[in-house]
Amino acid sequence: MMGWYHDGMGWGGWVVMTVAMVAFWGLVVFAVLALFRTQRSGESAPDRRDPMQILDERFARGEIDEDEYHARSSVLRGSVH
């Protein structure tokens, strides 16, 4: 066991070990971030709103007037006058 460190890896081995260590920790960080993204995307998926709800909200905010509201709601309900 004499000379164990003197005939060791050399500088090439240290470079390979360093690159492998950085790659390993990079994969660990990537896996943790990917795990949190999939959990978060499941929770915060935007719910599909009903078109009539959107129309009601636009009317309540004053973006459309009463005539336009009634015209669009009749189209959405399928009973065009």
* Number of folded domains that form the chain: 1
Q: Residue 73 domain-assigned?
A: yes
| Confidence (pLDDT) at 7 | 62
pLDDT at 8 over 70: no
Instruction: Evaluate if residue 80 carries a pLDDT over 90.
Output: no
Distance of CA 63 to the CA centre of its chain: 31
What domain range includes position 67? 47-80
Backbone angles phi, psi at 3, to 5 degrees: 75, 25
Of 4-8, 33-37, 40-44, 64-68, the range with the highest mean pLDDT is: 64-68
In a domain, 33, yes or no: no
Q: Tens of pLDDT along 10-63? A: 788 889 999 999 999 999 999 999 988 877 655 555 667 889 999 999 999 999
Q: Strand, coil or helix: what is 72?
A: helix
Structure-block tokens of residue 66: 């009463």
Residue 41 in domain: no
